[in-house]
Structure 1
Amino acid sequence: MCDHHASECTEPHDADAELERLGFSRRDMLRTAGIVLAAGALTGAQTLGTGTAPASALGTARGGAANDPALTWLVGDHHVHTQFSHDAKYRLAQQLDAAERYGVDWLAFTEHANFAHAEQGVFSSLEQIQQERDARDLLIFQGLEWYIPAAEHGSVLIAPGHDSARVLRAFELAWDGKLNRWERPANAAQQAEWERRAAEAIAWLGAQKRSGLIEDAVVLANHPLRLGIDSPHELRAWRDADPEIMIGMEGAPGAQGSAISQNTHAGDQRGEYTNAPRADSWPGFPADAYRPYGGFDWATATVGGLWDAMLAEGKPFWITSNSDNHLTVKDTWVTGAYPAGEPYASLPNEFDRWAVLGKRPDPVDTGAPQGGSDFWPGQFSRLHTGVTTRSYAGVLQAMRLGRMWVDHGHLLSGFDVRVRAAMPGNGRGRGNGAGNGWGNAAGVGATLGGRVAARRGQDVEVTITVTTTDYANAAGIVPQLVHVDLISGPVTGGSADPDAVRAPETRVTTRFDTSARRGTFTLTHVFEDVDRSFYVRFRGSDGKRQGAGYHGAAVDPGGPLRHGDGEGDPWQDTWFYANPVFVDVR
């Protein structure tokens, strides 16, 4: 077990023996994962125009209730830490109190993987989580921050069930990059081997769902461009290993308060995105990719960039946002003292003392502001999930289907999208027909993450319903949405280059000026006479920092800007992003 530093290493008691006690065998786990990958369990990764994506991944192509349901929007956070992580300090109850205070409906505790967590923290934290589930009107997931082999971190969320903690623990022991020393590959062969391990882990988790051992699970890539070690081909490989499990990535990282913390330094950036390429970084990322843009990751914020290159393949891959809370900006709490005497007195560092129980002491309030880069769950960053049932299964299914939008600083109170192929003869179509043979011309549409079928020559109408925020956020600002942008590009099919980071035809299609509008209002855009499959996604901001996008004004005339020194106040540069709708033109 190594976490960044050689001093933070501990040998496991016997991971294989522990797997056996849990009812698993490493050999069988590897065999199961290998069979799944070899069998090509990628039917959900076929591209629009060259195949049909599964209904569970992209919705029903011709609409209907499954594609355009009545939704309840729940605020969530899929990446939160407590004293059960070696570098965080809060009790579960403190995080949950804050979540309730800021309007969060569900969250996931994703403690860092390591042997002390796998051996002790999983079940001791679960006992507390269950007590909190019984006491609160919150959906509380037990998850894991997975050290993805040869790559960055990932959020693993598993629906609560009889075997969920056992499966989570086995996953951590068998597949974690840190526990198994699959970090910082020394050569290309090692890189390839460890990349396969990551795909096998995702495939294995999917197999546990299909077997019924767990009800459901999803995985998301965390802070993907922070270190530049999540290459484009790895993101695609994880997605294709099981697109029902690996559903996307953080569009915006946590740690959004890094540049305004108590101990901030010149050059500190939102998300703690202050790095430069290292030996195992993917060499194709430019230096700019290691910095945030309006608080969002370069992969998401760049119109025509990496996220768009993946969407242009017609495969679902969604974005999220979260707090990644460890240490809240300028709060007054510090980690309490460890007990006097042994074994603590002889241990050389904080990590080893934490590892005794897999838990830090309860924090104490000093009354003086402390260092920290994070906001409380829901305080600044929010993930809105459109559910049909308020349940753990409902949340995970909403995430899998891409029914998600994110905002910073409570920029919006509501956002809803409907996309439909317009009925011929009703002023939107061609001629005076009754709609026969025109796909879903009867007006049934799709919401975020869904698909609409249209015929060539038909019009496609996008209707956006926005509700602005009428209260002051945690910074005392009543947010003002200044614009809403539609970003669209053609679906061109699978990429011949698994490291492609460019979607050259994607651009901002239209911008709505909303600076004078308050309350709830509707915006409409029509794509006329469509002739090929495409997708459309959405964003907007408070308008305080914007300019020509990364690929120029012709592609993005008013996009988020890279933060320079002293420009990292998150409350003065807030954006929202929403996941796409695909339009399949036949």
Structure 2
Amino acid sequence: MHLLRASSTARSRFFLSSVAMAAAVALASCGGSDSTDPMEQGAWTTGDLHVHTVQSDDSRTTQTLDFVLGKAFTTHGLDWMAVTNHLRSSKYDNNGTLLTAPVAFAYGMEAYEMPRIKALQAAGTYSNKLIFSGFEWDAPAHDHIGVGIFDGGTAGTPLTSSPSAFKEFQWVFTTADASLFKAEDVTRFQAKYPQRFNSTAADTLKGISWLKDNYPDTSYALINHPSRNPGKYTIADFRQMNDLAPKIVFAIEGMVGNQMEPDRGGYTSAYVDANLPNRTYGGTDAVVAKVGGVWDALLGEGRRIWNVANSDSHFEIDAAGNSSGYFPGEYAKNHVWVPKGNTGVAGLLDSLRAGRSFGVFGDLIQALDFTASADSAKAAMGQDLPTAAGRTVTLTIRFKSPAVNNYQRPVNSGNLGNMVPKVHHVDLIVGDVGPKAAPGTEAYNLATNPSTRVLKRFTSADWKQDADGYYSVTTTVTASKSQYFRLRGTNLAENVAGLSAAGEPLPDQKITTTDNATRHDQINDRNYGSLWFYSNPIFVTVK
């Protein structure tokens, strides 16, 4: 197997979070430039937006908060992480001790999760990391949406997760029983909200509207594992959510977690042709993996909707021999560029909204500089390059690989397999950008972008290694219309039985071996044998 993990002359880490969770990005160079643009100041950071602990009802008592933080930051070196337990009930505290009675998760977060994080950082543990609390919402009539809600942000105050907002949101937009809430809160919520909104797709939109009305600049709603269950989302749903609150609904978890499940990503619907849209392809949801599919249809309207990669960590392997997902930072990473001066949650939110990021599995790459330039103008991932028709646009791709990734044999043994990740090819994908579809029109339901295609495929015969260790390749196009350009890379050859065909990822198959240890290693080998990275796009707007 050939794999690669991104490196970084662009890897300075800069998150220094205070005990009040006022994490600040503090620049520190890790050797070399953090960007291809010497005038640009900032740093690449890595993190995970989807992580569970024992306070989620489908986790395990071994998945304590301290354990997860250790895996994320000490073992796997992340810079930031969102702890996102289910917005249901908490039966345990952070240490896996059974409570006398379950409580609504918002109370468990307030009583256990947030104080423990604060205490650890006050004592100097993870004081240079950004850690915040969010939740995973069972969005009515849909699937899961990862939500963050933050107080602060005025007069220079840092953003911090908001227990009061969590409680109110949980009351209004979930089916949690009143017995899980404090009596005084129930009285207050019933007076404020004569009706709860927790059953229809319209109620999900009401929840997003609530975020927009109350936390327009300090909340986000991430669409998690969008195609895991058939019929839960249509592209019209994505358009409607983004139209309603573009500053809040700006990302899709295309590179899903739960990669240690026999059905990769936990995509367990029947393996029939009708469910091909509900499969993962190289571990990536069909929404993002299919060239010319749903994501490209959204980008083709110029929508700033980005792809992210998360672990969805619940546990890796439990005592009964079940396997779920990798630990935070072990297999999936978001690499996010944070400009100098951007600090804490607010700075990270700005960067996530800007789309200056890429997602990767198995550390296939650990650094990526992808830029477009025309005349004296230049743009990077998530940005727009305005130019005139007929101008030459230069596209530059630079990536770097590590010496070894986190592959273990046996899985979860601590025995690194000394696997050297290696990129086999990088695809430059292009699609046309046209007007935004209008609600109520046929175009609003169109889930394809027929203009999208692989413009060029680069292999080791095309790129060269620079003195700083980056592999680089440059190509040019003539600007004739408004378009976007994005990248996809893999360790797979173009045609690998069961995994790829003509360079496209094939739907992932279930591992059915009955012996637990053998099955776990087969799942792990499958995952590390099929690694991918996806960049967010650069838009080129022809004026």
Q: Could you tell me which residue of structure 1 aligns to residue 349 of structure 2? A: 396
CA shift at 1:464, angstroms?
Answer: 1.5
Distance, in Å, in 1 between the alignment partners of 2:431 and 2:487 is 12
Residues 232 and 499 in structure 1, CA contact (< 8 A), matched pair in contact too: yes
1:580 aligns with one of 529, 537, 540: 537
Alignment correspondent of 2:143: 152
Superposition deviation, residue 375 in structure 1:
0.4
Partner of 1:201: 207
Which of 388, 393, 406 lines up with 1:455 in the alignment? Answer: 388
Deviations 1:416-466 (A, max 9, x none): 111122x2xxxxxxxxxxxxxxxxxx2x31111111101111111111121
Aligned residue type for 2:248: I
Hey, what's the Cα distance between the residues in 1 that align with 2:509 and 2:64?
35
State the secondary structure of the residue aligned to 1:540: strand
What is the TM-score of this pair, normalised by structure 1?
Answer: 0.68
Task: Report the Cα distance in structure 1 between the residues aligned to 2:431 and 2:160, rounded to whole angstroms.
Answer: 44
Corresponding residue for 2:252? Answer: 249
Equivalents in 2 of 1:542, 1:162: separation in Å?
39
Q: 2:140, 2:199 within 8 Å by CA — same for their partners in 1?
A: no
CA gap 1:173/1:227 in 2 versus in 1, 3 angstroms = same
The answer to whether residue 242 in structure 2 is matched with residue 239 in structure 1 is yes
Which residue number in structure 1 is paired with residue 47 of structure 2? 76
Partner residue, 1:120:
107
Q: Which residue of 1 aligns with 2:329?
A: 378
Residue 220 of structure 1 aligns with which residue?
222
Q: Relative to structure 1, is the Cα distance of residues 468 and 392 closer, same or farther in structure 2, using a 3 angstrom cutoff?
A: same
Q: Distance in 2 between matches of 1:376 and 1:270?
A: 15
- Kindly provide the amino acid, as one letter, of the partner of residue 292 in structure 2: G
Q: Greater strand percent: which structure?
A: 2
Between the aligned partners of 1:548 and 1:205, the Cα distance in structure 2 is 46
The one-letter amino acid paired with 2:350 is Q
Give the structure 1 partner of residue 302 of structure 2. 314
Mapped partners of 1:402, 1:485: distance in 2: 19
Q: Which amino acid aligns with 1:485?
A: D
Shift of residue 76, structure 1, vs aligned partner: 0.5
Quick one: percent identity of the two aligned structures?
31
Is the partner of 1:494 in helix, strand or coil?
A: coil
User: Are residues 1:109 and 2:83 paired?
Assistant: yes
**In structure 2, do the counterparts of structure 1 residues 199 and 301 end up closer, same or farther at CA, with 3 Å as the change threshold?**
same
The residue that corresponds to 1:141 in the other structure is 132
Residue 542 of structure 1 and its aligned partner are, at CA, apart by 0.3
1:79 positional shift:
0.4
Q: Deviations over 1:114-147 (max 9, x none)?
A: 2533453121122222223433121111000011
Aligned to 2:432: 490
Q: 1:294 and 1:461 mapped to 2: Cα distance?
A: 30
User: Distance between the aligned counterparts of 2:212 and 2:314, measured in 1?
Assistant: 29
The answer to whether the 8 A contact 2:299-2:433 is kept is yes
Selected match of 1:88 from 44, 47, 59: 59
What code does the residue aligned with 2:535 have? A
CA positional deviation for 1:159: 4.1
The SS at the match of 2:537 is strand
Q: Which residue of 2 aligns with 1:540?
A: 489
Check if 1:465 corresponds to 2:398: yes
- Aligned to 1:498, the other structure's residue is in SS state helix
Structure 2 unmatched ranges of 5 or more = 1-36, 90-102, 152-158, 179-196, 409-416, 512-521
Q: Say if 1:176 and 1:499 are closer, same or farther in 2 by CA, change over 3 A.
A: farther
Is it true that 1:409 corresponds to 2:362 in the alignment?
yes
State the TM-score, normalizing by the size of structure 2. 0.74
Deviation at 1:584, TM superposition (A): 1.0
User: Residue in 2 aligned with 1:176?
Assistant: 174
Asked if 1 retains the 8 angstrom alpha-carbon contact of 2:235 and 2:294, the reply is yes
Q: Tell me the secondary structure at the aligned position of residue 536 of structure 2.
A: strand
Question: Which residues in structure 2 correspond to 1:178-577 (within 5 Å)?
Answer: 194-210=200-216, 216-228=218-230, 229-259=232-262, 269-276=263-270, 286-328=274-316, 330=317, 370-388=321-339, 389-421=342-374, 423=375, 442=376, 444-475=377-408, 476=417, 477-495=419-437, 496=441, 497-514=443-460, 519-528=469-478, 530-544=479-493, 546=495, 557-566=502-511, 569-577=526-534
Check the 8 A contact 2:50/2:311 in 1, yes or no: yes
Change (3 A) 1:179 1:77: farther
Matched with 1:48 is none
- Write the deviation string for residues 443-499 of structure 1: whole angstroms up to 9, x where unpaired: x31111111101111111111121112224233211001111111110021234322
Matches of 1:549 and 1:449, distance apart in 2: 33
Deviations 1:295-343 (A, max 9, x none): 1001110000011011101111111111101111x36xx5xxxxxxxxx
Which structure is larger by alpha-carbon Rg, 1 or 2? 1
**Cα distance change on mapping 1:164 and 1:69 into 2, 3 Å:** farther
